Structure 1
């Protein structure tokens, strides 16, 4: 089944003939970029959008992975932070983010002669609340992984099979996803969340989030990491570091990390 889906993915890109990939450096869009380059060569281009909601480390990862794949890579700036519909952080915030992204990528693709803009949306993403998918579709973007019902687990399996060293890279959505709906997003808030997550990663932790709730940082770790974290971490030093980043209070979520956790308030309102 995996081999069949991989061949279908290759066929899909062969039919496109040229493609511009909305490339974040995550495992999904990197697989799309890899297959596009394998099939299309220099007729595939990976484009990474840079804004305050992207960690500098993520951009560097994207560059390294693109170089390893061999695909041409371009960086553009997006300006979603100029849009109050985005910074006010409504429940459909991602719609405005992806609108800005694809309003940037589509004209670029047309200018450079690429008939298609494709992204890394996978089949699992269709089952979550993702208003950004609607914005992308409205602007004609295609999602090869979703079209071929390739799940996140299958993305990782294919990536591993192809020898991509980042096949198990943790998901890293934009930093704006760390804020509860309704809390205004600012550059300084994005920076403090980003610095806090980098701090935790340097401690050897992975698959984590630092959620912002006003002046409080809520640390989410995978459940199996929580006990060791509490027992072995110099907590006063960590709290002091987080306060230097701009937080006042630091808490640990005892449930642990769960993707899309902030969307549970939407379910409670149904």
Structure 2
């Protein structure tokens, strides 16, 4: 069904983060569509290593690749609860301009069928801008994407989910580039220790570390805890804590539910 859907789109621009979903989508599109471009956004709230991985993936997949440089939009500088809507509306408006100028037929994103069950205000922006979501429209789930990615030998098949760094900061908080760098360096350090599913949420001068329950045992080794604490403090945090509830996607959304 997905292949047939994409075959009907002669030329496609895929918003490409280098994650599981967009990598699978662009890989399939590159086979069944006549003309495909992967477009990656580079901004202060996207981890540098994610951009680097996206660049490397496009080389492996032999894709046409473009990078869109973007600053922190004025509309989201205080991290409002609808930041995803505001950000996606601005970014995808720019992507559409590029697509139209380069004479591509459609702009697609990697939203999948499971995304309907999460708080994702950005999907409203996609609908307003007529951005297509082939994986969602064809009811492709995350589990199916991972399974098919493995069969296609895509290195992202088991990549943990990742999101923009704005999700590490409480809502209604000034977004400071220095804070984003602290978070990015902290997560990169922990990932470098072999703990892949990680979030470092910033509460002022306190780092609240979330880790997937499957990897919690790695964090509980005294030498690892000491190493992480000392390193994150060297990045600028005064306090480093481990969230005993483990990793939860969009954990700051809980604060919205309580309002």
Q: Match for residue 101 of structure 2?
A: 111
**Secondary structure of 1:16's aligned partner:** coil
Task: Identify the residue that residue 44 of structure 2 maps to in structure 1.
Answer: 52
Greater shift, 171-180 or 258-267, is seen at 258-267
| Corresponding residue to 2:32 among 35, 39, 58 | 39
Q: Number of paired residues?
A: 259
Any stretches of 5+ residues in structure 2 without a counterpart? none
Q: Secondary structure, in 3 states, of the residue corresponding to 1:104?
A: helix
Structure 1: gaps (5+ residues): 1-7
| CA pair 234-163 structure 1, distance change in 2 beyond 3 A | closer
TM-score normalised per structure 1? 0.92
1:192 aligns with 2:185: no
When you count helix as a share of all residues, which structure comes out higher?
A: 1
Question: In structure 2, which of residues 16, 41, 45 is the aligned counterpart of residue 23 of structure 1?
Answer: 16
Name the CA distance, whole Å, in 1 between partners of 2:131 and 2:94: 12
1:141 aligns with 2:127: no
Matched residue SS, 2:221: helix
Distance 1:95 1:74 in 2: 23
1:39-74 Cα offsets, whole Å, 9 max, x none, are: 124x11000010011111111111111122222111
Distance in 1 (alpha carbons) for counterparts of 2:103 and 2:66:
15
- Structure 2 residue aligned with 1:158: 148
Correspondence 1:164-203 to 2 at 5 A: 164-203=154-193
Q: Alpha-carbon deviation of 1:173?
A: 0.6
Q: Secondary structure at the match of 2:158?
A: coil
Alignment TM-score, normalising by the size of structure 2: 0.96
Q: Is the 8 A contact 1:102 1:139 kept in 2?
A: yes
User: What aligned pairs does 1:65-80 form with structure 2 within 5 A after superposition?
Assistant: 65-79=57-71
